[in-house]
Structure formats: C-alpha cells, structure tokens
Structure 1
Amino acid sequence: MPIEPARLPVAGAGGVGGEWRAGSGLDVVRGVREYVAGDPARLVHWPVSARHGSLVVKELEDPASRRLAIVVDLRGPGGGETAEAAEAAASHAAGLAVLALRAGFAVTMATAESDGGRVAAVKTRIDVSRRLARAVAAEPPEGPFPPSTEVVRVTADGAQ
C-alpha cells in the first residue's frame, strides 16, 4: 500500500513558509564574487552590489553536495506503537523526503525493519513509499550517513 506524503509548508528559508521546489529561490549560497561577463543575471546579488558599487554575483553550493538523512522512528509514546501516530510520522517523513528530492537533495532514509535497521538512499517517490511500507515500530539506526549530511529525525511520539 503506497504511503501518501503529507503536504507540509516548509519554513526556515529566510523565515518564509511555502512550497519547496528546485529553483524556487532556496538555493544554498556559498559566497559572492565579482561579476564576470556572461554570468547569469539571476545570480546578481543586488543588495551586496548596491553596497559594493559594482555587480556582485552569488556562488551557489553544488546541488550534488546537498544531502539529507531522515531517521524515521515509528515508536509511539513510551516506545510502543500507536497506528495513528506511526501513520502520521510516516506521512511526514514521506512528505519531507519528496520535497527534498524535488529540491535536488540526495536523500537517505534510516528505518527499523522486521529484519533489522536499514540505512539506504532513496531516489524516487516510489522508493520512499517502499521504504516506509517496510518500516516497523522499533529503534531505527542513527547512521552511518555520508559526510556533510543534514540529519532530521521524524518520530511518532512527537519528539524531534
């Protein structure tokens, strides 16, 4: 049975909530440098250019280096499972994973499964659904994750 991701507003990108999509202005800026003929106008950092007196462009982080690990803990309060809480946690994890994939992140999911913990990359919405369909209410592994990976923990007990 496919698990449908929850539609969640994403806050934290400059304090603005909204839908997170690749190219929606949520690029990670690594730094700024002087404008060079041929640089795309969309990369001009207008506030810094105004202060500097000449055009300055943003240098963006390589999208391939943006990694997110989602640790999914389906145990409810007290370590037990409540179907409703587990379903809500799985839905939130699915929504987060799909948004991150659309934004160009490399996504890894850590789940507890009937044969033990599993940490694996997911590349599509179908991969996400399959991983969450196999997840059980037990302690998920906490890694290992690739270097410079942002880790988010989604729990059924409400803790983050």
Structure 2
Amino acid sequence: MTVQTPTDTASVDSIIDALYDTVSGPAGSRDFDRLRALFLPDARLIPAEPVADNHTAGQALDSAAFIAAVTPKLSTQPCYEVEIARRTERFGPIAHAWSTYESRESADGEPFVRGINSIQLLHKDGRWWVVTIFWSKETEHQQIPTRYSHRSPAAQN
C-alpha cells in the first residue's frame, strides 16, 4: 500500500484528487493508510444518508469509523467515484469545495449515484489537510443544481 506523498497535499486540487483516488477502484482493498494521511487529526466525515446499517444520517464519523463502514461494500463491489465539477472558495489558510461526484461500477460506466461533497480544508504545516467532508446524494426530489454541475474559476487567496 502507498502512503500519502507530499504531492497529495500540495494544493487543493491535489488533495481532492487524492481523496477520490483512494476510495475508487475494483472490488477489494483500498489504500486506507493514504486516505488517513489526508485528514487532520479529529477530522470528520458526515454523510447525510446512512453509509451502513449501523450508521445513521448526520452521524459524524472519524476516519476509522468511515473506513469500517465502507470496507464491507468496497471489498465486494467495484466503485469508481469521480469528480465531475467543483466550486472552490479560499480565504488564507481555509478553503471550501463543493465537489460534485458520480459513482460508477467501472471507470467508464454509467453512474449509479451522483451527489455533492462539501469539503473543508486547512493549510497548515506546509500542506493541505481535510477537516470535514459532509455529503448528500442526488435523488428524484433533490436534484443537483446547475451551478454545481461545472467547475468554477480557480480559488482566490
């Protein structure tokens, strides 16, 4: 398994790319050491819907609880989660990204789910850290707004 490299955390773009890369792939294990290395200690992952039978919507998970919740599904089902659009804003050492994603069973397959990740980041100690990921999936009654279906201009300092 690969551990996080400095290039994974050098920019907002690179850390978000690393997030998607670590959870994507064929059925089987993932590089969860690399994933853990992207998060600030005590970072939180908050699904708006349950990620497993024992996790309720809105429950704040640490990286260990998130990994425990998704491992059974990822070990038996391929999942390629790809970013299709992003809107990013930055002020000094903090950044916020609305990252629209699609999950597919193959790298070029049709999406089986779409949604938006709200990702908060902190620049500290010469690198970017994920502080929080809060997400919700698209449904028939909750469609992704047009403004989140394309990339915004580059984040400003």
Same structural fold, with TM-score higher than 0.5 when normalized by the shorter chain = no
Taking CA–CA contacts closer than 8 Å with sequence separation of 6 or more, which of the two structures ends up with the larger relative contact order?
A: 1
TM-score normalised by L of structure 1 = 0.30
Structure with greater strand share of residues: 2
Which protein is richer in helix relative to its size? 1
Rg larger for? 1
